[in-house]
Amino acid sequence: MDADEKDIITYLKVWSGQYVSAREIARKAASKKRFEKEPNWAVPVLGRLLEKGLVESDSRAHYRLLLGSKKEKPKRWISPHLQKILDKTGKDFSEGGEIDEPPKTAPPGGEKPPAEGG
């Protein structure tokens, strides 16, 4: 992917699924000087992006970024030793886990909690 394609992709990400005209893309995706020198610079680049399947166009030649399914990253453990510890518990943590209610213990030092209302 060249720099022009990256500029257009970055610009279309801002519009999140809305169609934008090729002229507007050419005007805003690069510098003002570039648009003044070459007002149609984005047209061939948009054609390449269409061929690659990264953008789509409507009947009015407006373009939008395809919101394709993102590849799901494989889930990993924070560290191997945590995986071993959790595997020893015998619970299945593949979908996440619920935390058991901690046992209620006396505060440190063996003191009783203060009585309410008194």
Q: Is residue 54 part of a domain?
A: yes
Q: Which domain holds residue 47?
A: 3-65
Euclidean distance between CA atoms 61 and 1, whole angstroms: 22
Give the percent of the chain with pLDDT over 90: 47
Q: Is residue 73 part of a domain?
A: no
How confident is the model over 29-63, as pLDDT tens digits?
999 899 999 999 999 999 999 999 999 999 998 99
Q: Residue 35 sits in a domain of what CATH number?
A: 1.10.10
Count structural domains, the chain.
1
Q: Are 11 and 63 in contact (CB under 8 A)?
A: no
How confident is the model over 4-24, as pLDDT tens digits?
999 999 999 998 889 999 999
Q: Is residue 105 part of a domain?
A: no
Q: Are 12 and 22 in contact (CB under 8 A)?
A: no
Q: What pLDDT, on the 0 to 100 scale, is given for residue 98?
A: 60
Give the percent of the chain with pLDDT over 70: 72
Q: Is residue 39 part of a domain?
A: yes
Residue 72 has pLDDT above 80, yes or no: no
**pTM reported for the whole predicted model:** 0.57
Q: Is residue 53 part of a domain?
A: yes
